[in-house]
Amino acid sequence: VVDMDELDQRHRVVVIGAGFGGLFATKALKRADVDVTLINGTTHHLFQPLLYQVATGILSEGEIAVPIREILGKQRNARVLLGWVDHVDVAARTVTATAPGLSYTVEYDTLIVAAGASQSYFGNDKFAEFAPGMKSIDDALELRGRIFNAFEMAELETDPAAIERWLTFVVVGAGATGVEMAGQIAELAHRTLPGQYRRINPKQARVILLDALDRVLPAFGDHLSTQGLRQLHRIGVEVELETKVVDVDATGIEVDTKSGHRRIESMTKMWAAGVAAPGLSRQIAEAAGAETDRAGRIKVEPDCTVPGHPEIFAVGDMMALDQLPGVAQVAIQSGRYAARQVKRRLAHEGPDKPFHYFDKGSMATISRFSAVASIGKFRFAGLLAWFLWLGVHLLYLVGFKNRLTTVLHWTVSFIGRGRSERVATVQQIFARTALKETGDTGGPAPSGPPKRLS
Amino acid sequence: VVDMDELDQRHRVVVIGAGFGGLFATKALKRADVDVTLINGTTHHLFQPLLYQVATGILSEGEIAVPIREILGKQRNARVLLGWVDHVDVAARTVTATAPGLSYTVEYDTLIVAAGASQSYFGNDKFAEFAPGMKSIDDALELRGRIFNAFEMAELETDPAAIERWLTFVVVGAGATGVEMAGQIAELAHRTLPGQYRRINPKQARVILLDALDRVLPAFGDHLSTQGLRQLHRIGVEVELETKVVDVDATGIEVDTKSGHRRIESMTKMWAAGVAAPGLSRQIAEAAGAETDRAGRIKVEPDCTVPGHPEIFAVGDMMALDQLPGVAQVAIQSGRYAARQVKRRLAHEGPDKPFHYFDKGSMATISRFSAVASIGKFRFAGLLAWFLWLGVHLLYLVGFKNRLTTVLHWTVSFIGRGRSERVATVQQIFARTALKETGDTGGPAPSGPPKRLS
């Protein structure tokens, strides 16, 4: 362990990332005699589990992305810096980050690496353009624009095949994120949009959920997989299992199934299939002589430290430990664990027990009034699970920040049929801000002569 | 006038633009025996007077941008098409519009042109990059990102001159929009952000409001100009009048004043100084043999029609008539007037009285609890005017759509100190979506070696 007595200044903790792991580690150091520097690539802490609700117009981005400075404003031993961490020098104990137009270096005595995970296309990064992931506010706003614009474009098309292409939505990956996304697009098409179009019927939209595995929601166990599948079918989602994506382009997606190769024509695809640790993870592992797993996560000691570097903790989605799932609770608990170790060391309390993940359970909504939840030995499906989901999220939101607007938006969407946040920007529609009154749309040029819409 | 008896089908009205003019014209045709096609470049109707509240983090974009389809869903004689109108063929009576990847043509019997106004840089379009305007959701989100990021960048800088540049905000144009914008940035700096930074003090931010004229809020008359100026001074806005902008670049703005030429160092500039009709206005005027005024608006007959073309109405910011101001009420009333003429003609009722604008008054907020209002012969300033502003907007919002979330967000900002909608996307911060875990920030490259932040 680090000898604290060598230091003639306050112990400096640098935390990389303000997701669940980094934020909760920082908060847990509130009363510690340390200086904390939290570095993040955006100015907000993102409540990622509700990202799909921004992508489908239920919530505004501000409701799930809270300014880090607002959360930590009163924590006087913490400072927040905007920056994208490029490099950790494990020998010099410095972190280098880039902000627009400048870069900077900060020194650490203890480093907590909590940079999360990014979407993985399993080596096919070119898919990203055609099938955005579901990890950031950027992703959610991009998908929101694509989903709502698809209905607009269908309304303008005259060719039946083109209309069908615009009204086919493909979600890749049937874990919680993919299931929730597919469910909400189906609700949008069946409950919110009907009556608002004149030429198309939004109810004819197809929502296809693909997965390479043989079940949906595999992490929830056999019983809830079956229940989840039944609920998805009931709201009209087409689930195609044992289906592997081999290519994605602007107008469709190519898949291999048991019965052979097939193409699905679809303008709107989204990717919720895999995650990988950011490049920073490998950089740190290499510099520290540590190993990474297949997803690029650092193989840590039982106390979440990088082997040979007790001063570096990797937490949440950046640590490979006991095959723990990539969920918020793992990040929160490991972040807090790391903070506790820092405090123990400063108090010379000696080594703690290894990190132990306490599984509080998991849940996924499928549509309004319908969810699955797994808590301890108990399995819930349907309405009861949905109320559990609602209760847990209301509790969390009230503790986190008093978010009455969120409750109102849920009322609008779940009791009513509305979606309060449907804005697509001109940039999203026409692919470029430069569009003003010039008629220069910047987007794809019209192909062929003008269609006559009578 | 048009002879309706020639037609063997329902009278076709095409409305260009879903701003106040176009939307209210369409709604006024609800019970008319016509088919209305409303074409707009975005999918939302924008409540432009509150755009500054999105730009300063008070409201979400969904709260001021409502889906046109939601508003018109139940109006069965109206259809909505996404598209940017490039061309009107006044002889063939067709409108051609562009959507992403396709263009289309629709025929009209009556055309109502209500495409609004865009920002005018008085021939200096290159200013737009450095000083975005205040006309669209794109503009508001762009400014929101720039304003909040400026404080982040100031926190990272070590050079005092650079910090000052980041903490200097310049608003060009002291009409209602500019005044409201300047006031809200001052409130942000003085009420919301203090306590959230460690190296800078947000209270040291300077907000400079420039105008070429010798007074603020000229449309409100002498008394309220003086009151407005006093209120601006009280909240710390520096007002520089008789100051003409001659150049704008990335790091500052060059002005000519009575005492000579001067440069203001500022990273964050915004433009609320002038408007011009879109290029479409001149295209229609030329084709119809009509004249335009200096701002490019079509000089219309007293009944809002284009001379020689009784079947074409130009309303709101696209018509030049009686030097009417470019405000929502002019657009609403002229849009409704045009709709009424269509109905009168179909009923063979003969010509109506010329369009007469009924001035319901105008108001501008300066900060919370402080505004100016001019209603009939009455002038109000301060708290009373602010409550008038609040009352009118609450009434409007309740009539328009039940927007409880807006009231909550106002409570957070005006009673509390919060700003609920502060999100900047990674794209906004780093100028490119491509930034993922690669460390390729896409933005301006760091200049010089990393700064050491201790």
Residue A440 has pLDDT above 50, yes or no: no
Q: What is the mean pLDDT of chain B?
A: 90
Please state the rounded mean pLDDT for residues B355-367. 93
Share of chain A above pLDDT 70, in %: 93
DSSP element (H, E) containing A382: strand A378-382
A74 and B438 within 8 Å at the Cβ level: the answer is no
Q: What is the 3-state secondary structure (H, E, C) of A393-439?
A: HHHHHHHHCCCHHHHHHHHHHHHCCCCCCCCCCHHHHHCCCCCCCCC
Enumerate the β-bridge partners of residue B382.
B371
What is the model's pLDDT at position A94?
97
Give tens-digit pLDDT for B418-446.
888 888 888 777 763 333 334 444 444 56
Smallest Cβ–Cβ distance between A425 and the set B137, B408, B435 belongs to B137
Question: In the block, which residue shows the tokens 């109905």?
Answer: B343
Nearest Cα to Cα of residue A20 among A115, A101, A125, A132: A115
Enumerate the β-bridge partners of residue A78.
A36
Please state the rounded mean pLDDT for residues A45-59. 93
Give tens-digit pLDDT for B131-186.
999 999 999 999 999 999 999 999 999 999 999 999 999 999 999 999 999 999 99
Residue B402 has pLDDT above 70, yes or no: no
User: Quick one: tokens of A27?
Assistant: 């908060």
Give tens-digit pLDDT for B175-232.
999 999 999 999 999 999 999 999 999 999 999 999 999 999 999 999 999 999 999 9
Give tens-digit pLDDT for B374-394.
998 999 999 999 999 998 888
Of A2-6, B257-261, B282-286, least confident by mean pLDDT is A2-6
Residue A445 has pLDDT above 90, yes or no: no
Angle at CA of residue B423, ends B421 and B428, nearest 5°: 140
Of A257-261, A433-437, B369-373, least confident by mean pLDDT is A433-437
Q: What is the mean pLDDT of chain A?
A: 90
What is the model's pLDDT at position B392?
87
Give tens-digit pLDDT for A141-165.
999 999 999 999 999 999 999 999 9
Q: What are phi and psi of B104, to 5 degrees?
A: -150, 160
Question: In the block, which residue shows the tokens 């809830």?
Answer: A224
ipTM for this model: 0.92
A450 and B404 within 8 Å at the Cβ level: the answer is no
Q: In what order do the strands lie in the sheet with B252-257?
A: B244-249, B252-257, B260-265
What is the model's pLDDT at position B420?
82
Distance from CA of B197 to the nearest CA of A (A): 7
What is the model's pLDDT at position B373?
95
Residue A409 has pLDDT above 50, yes or no: yes
Q: What CA–CA distance (Å, rounded) separates B96 from B123?
A: 27
What is the model's pLDDT at position B113?
98
What is the model's pLDDT at position B67?
92
Smallest Cβ–Cβ distance between A104 and the set B84, B421, B451 belongs to B451
Interface of A with B in 69-98 (CB under 8 A): 69-70, 72-74, 79-84, 86, 96, 98
**Which range scores top for mean pLDDT: A56-60, A446-450, B242-246, B427-431?**
B242-246
Burial of A42 (0-12, 13-18, 19+ CB in 10 A): buried
Residue B312 has pLDDT above 50, yes or no: yes
Of B10-19, B132-141, B359-368, B409-418, least confident by mean pLDDT is B409-418
Of A142-156, A438-452, B294-308, least confident by mean pLDDT is A438-452
User: Quick one: tokens of A417?
Assistant: 């049929």
Whether A63 sits among the annotated catalytic residues: the reply is no
Annotated catalytic residue within A63, A157, A180, A187: A180
Annotated catalytic residue within B63, B157, B180, B301: B180
Smallest Cβ–Cβ distance between A437 and the set B98, B195, B279 belongs to B279
Please state the rounded mean pLDDT for residues A413-441. 65
Please state the rounded mean pLDDT for residues A51-79. 93
What is the model's pLDDT at position B433?
30
Give tens-digit pLDDT for A390-401.
988 888 775 555
Q: What are phi and psi of B110, to 5 degrees?
A: -125, 140
* Per-residue pLDDT band at B351 (split at 50, 70, 90): confident
What is the model's pLDDT at position B440?
42
Interface of B with A in 36-75 (CB under 8 A): 37, 41-44, 57, 60-63, 65, 67, 69-70, 73-74
Q: What CA–CA distance (Å, rounded) separates A218 from A213?
A: 8
Inter-CA distances, A41 with A71, A205, A317, Å: 16, 37, 16
* Per-residue pLDDT band at B400 (split at 50, 70, 90): low
Interface of B with A in 149-208 (CB under 8 A): 149, 152-153, 155-157, 193, 195-199
Please state the rounded mean pLDDT for residues A34-55. 95
Residue B45 has pLDDT above 60, yes or no: yes
What is the model's pLDDT at position B438?
40
What is the model's pLDDT at position B436?
37
Helices (H), A271-378: 279-288, 328-346
* Rg of chain A over all Cα atoms, to the nearest angstrom: 23
Interface of A with B in 397-426 (CB under 8 A): 404-405, 408-409, 418, 420-426
